[in-house]
Amino acid sequence: MHHKFLLIIILLLLLNSGCSPLPETSENSVPEQNYYIQEIAHLHIEDALQNLPENTEIRAVWIPVMIYQKWMENQSEAQFRENVRQAFQNCSDLGLNTVFLHVRAYCDAYYQSNLFPSGAYLTGEYDPLSIMLEEAHAMHLSVHAWINPMRAQTPEKISHLDSRWILRQWYEDTQKNGTYLVNHDGRYYLNPAYPEVRQLIADGIAEIIQNYPVDGIHIDDYFYPTTNPDFDKQAFSESSASDLADWRRTNCNEMIKLLYQTVKENNPDIPFSISPQGNFDVNYHELYADVRRWSSESGFCDIIIPQIYYGFRNDTCPFAETAQLWAETVTVPKLVIGLGAYKTGYSDQWAGSGQSEFLTDSTVISRELEYTATLEGLSGIALYSYTSIFEPEQEVSALVNEEKHHIADVFQKNSAPDDTGAES
């Protein structure tokens, strides 16, 4: 409601201010002052519909591409819209305010693109991102377009693409198949060693921002898919670098800086966020993602969302200690902590003595939410994933539903006014 009052005040001030005489106008032109007023109104209306007020706690959920098979495949536009509307209603009812929508998972597009082919699950003649944005914003949910920057398609799928797509062109080019585009374990990945590759990823982000009113751009942890030196052997041999690991980290840094710069050049008001793995060592030594640098220097991201998908009793990365380490490390971007809701009801295979923690306990994620509320400087949380929370497998549904109620209770408690009437 305060947005409406603010807009009225601005309009009245502008209309009654001592402005200089209006310039001469043609019959069909809009007077400069009226045009300015219209722009101010448009901006504030857009803010009211799309963007969270500054300092609002982010309560997000990832909506991964796999669910699109159910939402889109052989579904009419009306059916798709209803599927999306119900999903966003579920998010809103739980107390979430942000969704990370998978729009490019395999160098494909669930939107209108001139750079990437349509995603395989899209079988209808409609624009899914436009519909998802309309429905999300109608419920005052913030929408961040989520892409995987480097992961592409299988050889079979790329070989059937139309020749107008750059992926197919690189696939057919003997100089670029194996360099720009590298096959690893039966799937192609983009190689960020080459400026042309990094530019394609950046151009894809620019295309989204220029054509859709998204509230943010988001990438996850799919960086280098392997430590095997054969992945980029030629590019490394042609470089002047002597250390493969440092060289790969430099390539990732250059890619991330370009993506950040692209977001800011196209819309400086929306955030660019990165969701690396929760383990610093894995990021640095296996994925070649220098997340400590991204967390402590400007120019890389606005929000960092580590995937702290661990229980309190995890032997390698116990949740509380890991979350505290991230809180101490992240000094420049905002910190949002990713929680592994998908583990509820299942054995945590790599947790050591904490392997059974999620198996029977319906309070792990809600207790983690309570713990994160004690961390200084935290800007919110993100849950992985929508399907795990709202459409769990039958064998774990009872436990997940219990946990879902616990999560809602924590959100409600953290949103309740304190004794002074202020928001807690």
For residue 266, the model assigns a pLDDT of 98
**Residue 116 token pair:** 């990437």
Q: Beta 98-104 vs 58-63: how paired, if at all? A: parallel
For residue 120, the model assigns a pLDDT of 96
SS3 391: coil
The number of beta carbons lying within 10 Å of the beta carbon of residue 156 is 8
SS3 315: coil
CB-based contact 263:214 (threshold 8 Å): no
pTM: 0.87
CB-based contact 275:382 (threshold 8 Å): yes
Alpha-carbon span 58 to 89, nearest angstrom:
17
Alpha helices in 212-306 (DSSP H): 233-238, 244-266, 280-285, 291-296
State yes or no: pLDDT of 146 exceeds 60: yes
Per the listing, tokens 């597009």 go with: 109
Q: What is the mean pLDDT of residues 178-186?
A: 98
Alpha-carbon span 63 to 58, nearest angstrom:
15
Q: Which residues contact 205 (CB under 8 A, 6 or more apart)?
A: 147, 217, 259, 262, 263, 266
For residue 414, the model assigns a pLDDT of 86
For residue 2, the model assigns a pLDDT of 44
State yes or no: pLDDT of 191 exceeds 90: yes
Q: Which residues contact 301 (CB under 8 A, 6 or more apart)?
A: 256, 260, 271, 272, 273, 274, 294, 333
DSSP 117: P
SS3 235: helix
pLDDT digits (tens, 9 = 90+) for 104-128: 999 999 999 999 999 999 999 999 9
CATH of 57-415, one of 3.40.1260.10, 2.60.120.10, 3.20.20.80, 3.20.20.450: 3.20.20.80
Alpha-carbon span 6 to 130, nearest angstrom:
28
pLDDT digits (tens, 9 = 90+) for 242-287: 999 999 999 999 999 999 999 999 999 999 999 999 999 999 999 9
**What DSSP element (H or E) covers 389?**
helix 386-390
* Average pLDDT across the chain, whole number: 89
Alpha-carbon span 76 to 69, nearest angstrom:
13
Domain locations along the chain: 1-20+32-50, 57-415
Alpha helices in 95-149 (DSSP H): 128-138
For residue 55, the model assigns a pLDDT of 73
Q: What is the mean pLDDT of residues 318-335?
A: 98
pLDDT digits (tens, 9 = 90+) for 362-415: 999 999 999 999 999 999 999 999 999 999 999 999 999 999 999 999 999 988
**Residue 416 pLDDT class (50, 70, 90 cuts):** low
Give the torsion through C-alpha atoms of 339, 343, 345, 348, to 10 deg: -120
pLDDT digits (tens, 9 = 90+) for 12-66: 444 343 333 333 333 223 223 332 223 333 333 344 344 567 678 999 999 999 9
Percentage of residues in the chain having pLDDT higher than 90: 84
For residue 56, the model assigns a pLDDT of 87
Q: Beta 187-190 vs 142-147: how paired, if at all? A: unpaired
